Amino acid sequence: MILNILIVGILLYLTWALIHHRRDKSLTFTILLEYLLTALLSLILLMGVVF
Amino acid sequence: MVKKLKQSWYTNRVNWRNWFIPHKDTHKKAHLISWEAILIYVLFFILLQVGFSIISYTNPGVLGISANIDQKKLIELTNIEREKKGLSKVVENEALDKAAKLKAANMFSENYWAHFAPSGKTPWDFILGAGYRFTFAGENLAKNFYSSDEVVAAWMASPTHRDNLLNSNYKDIGIAVEEGVLNGQKTILIVQEFGTTDVLAGKPSVNVQGQQISVPAKDFASKPELVLVASKIVNTKSIDPYQISKVAGFSVIFLMVILLTLDIWVLKKRGVFRISSHHLAHMALLSLAVGSLLTGQPGVIL
């Protein structure tokens, strides 16, 4: 359940990042990487506690 | 010489600051919240998990959970839930207690986490082996919980386990809370066996994970009585990998949130806008991660 909530949160976060930075014409590889790594970090942190 | 030293000290001081606040001239993000740093945090947590797996494999029982789970409290909490639904209380039965202990011991010896053993042993093998001649029985399992309340709450939150716990046919209960080493980690297994010997319509069956499995008539005649062997003493001072992961996770998130806040504050003070400074989105996700870490726990039911 908690994992599902976090996954939904991550998807919203990444979708927001893509839409916002594309509209802003500021979507660079570094920015995308920063978002992806933050999302991955959140997921890994929970995995360490739940599994 | 003195001038050189002074210059070097100043450069170091500036570099030291760059780890925590945006760079003075370029306004580049603090090193500790750059993508490179986040990558290092990710790798650190992956290595931590790999390290735990290696320790579990090389030194079984060193890692694991120490919990305060009481067998009597579990029965009491089960009956509270049953009474809430207007059902009769289940009474502790010695044979079912033995069946639960036999099941837990078998899970440790065969190193599995399931209702059916890899060797083919079924839940009713232990119930019949303990001398309980049921007409209807059921089994709930749990592991890695810290308290009795958490165990019963988890069973109640799962529709199949709740239906089993609140089944009106049951008259007897047996519970085992056993400590041992499972998959290299010190684990506390909780086995809950329900049963009745009352004559019911239909063939004798066992309720496992929401499925009613009919027990072959030959099993009632052929199952030998099982003997309970004293369990091995497990290392009582184990290191809890889940708590370590939790503390490390909170520390990294706390550091990142502080630095992101500092970044916004410093840039505002400097009157600078940076296109990649949408920190609120990062902070929202990190807050969600904090929430999930707070509510997340290693306990699982089956």
Q: What percentage of chain B exceeds 90 in pLDDT?
A: 51
Which alpha helices (DSSP H) does chain A contain, by range? 2-23, 29-50
**What percentage of chain A has pLDDT greater than the value 70?**
100
Interface check for B280 against chain A (CB to CB < 8 A): the answer is: no
What is the DSSP-derived secondary structure letter of residue B133? Answer: -
Tell me the shortest Cα–Cα distance from B301 to chain A, in angstroms: 12
Q: Which residue of B has its CA nearest to A25?
A: B275
Q: Do A49 and B242 touch (CB under 8 A)?
A: yes
State the best of A14, A26, A45, A51 to mutate against chain B, taking most chain B CBs within 10 Å: A45
> Is the separation of the CB atoms in B302 and B116 below 8 Å?
no
Cα–Cα dist B190/B176, whole Å: 6
Which of B38, B184, B190 minimizes the C-alpha distance to B101?
Answer: B190
Give the per-residue pLDDT at B93: 93
CB-based contacts of B150: which residues, under 8 Å, 6+ apart?
Answer: B297, B299
* Sites in chain B below the pLDDT cut of 50: none
Smallest CA–CA distance, residue A2 to chain B, in Å, is 6
Q: How many Cβ atoms from other residues are within 10 Å of residue B299's Cβ? A: 21
Check if the beta carbon of residue B142 is closer than 8 Å to that of residue B299: yes
Tokens of A2: 């908690």
- Decide if B132 contacts B104 (C-beta within 8 A): no
pLDDT of residue B1: 57
B174 forms beta bridges with B193
In terms of C-beta density within 10 A (0-12 exposed, 13-18 middle, 19 or more buried), how is residue B282 classed?
buried
Give how far B284 is from chain A: nearest CA, Å. 9
pTM of the model: 0.81
Sequence letter at residue B285: L
- Which pLDDT score, from 0 to 100, does residue B90 have? 94
Closest CA to B253 of B297, B280, B298, B293: B293
Q: B273 and chain A: CB distance < 8 Å anywhere?
A: no
DSSP string, B178-197: EEEEETTEEEEEEEEEEEE-
Environment class of B222 (CB within 10 Å of its CB; exposed 0-12, middle 13-18, buried 19+)? exposed
CB contact at 8 A, B31 and B16: no
Q: Looking at the DSSP assignment, which residues form a beta bridge with residue B70? A: none
B286 touches chain A (CB under 8 A): yes
Strand partners, B239: B63
Whether A29 has its CB under 8 Å from any CB of chain B: the answer is: no
Instruction: Give start and end residues of each alpha helix (H) in chain B.
Output: 2-18, 35-58, 71-84, 94-110, 123-129, 148-157, 159-165, 217-222, 241-270, 279-295
Rounded Cα distance between B41 and B46, Å, is: 9
Paired tokens of B283: 């902070």
Choose the mutation target among B33, B42, B44, B183 for the interface with A, i.e. most A CBs under 10 Å.
B42
- What's at B295, amino acid-wise? T
Return the sign of the alpha-carbon dihedral for residues B261, B267, B272, B275: negative
Closest approach of B39 to chain A, Cα-based (Å) = 6
Residues of B in contact with A23 (CB under 8 A): none
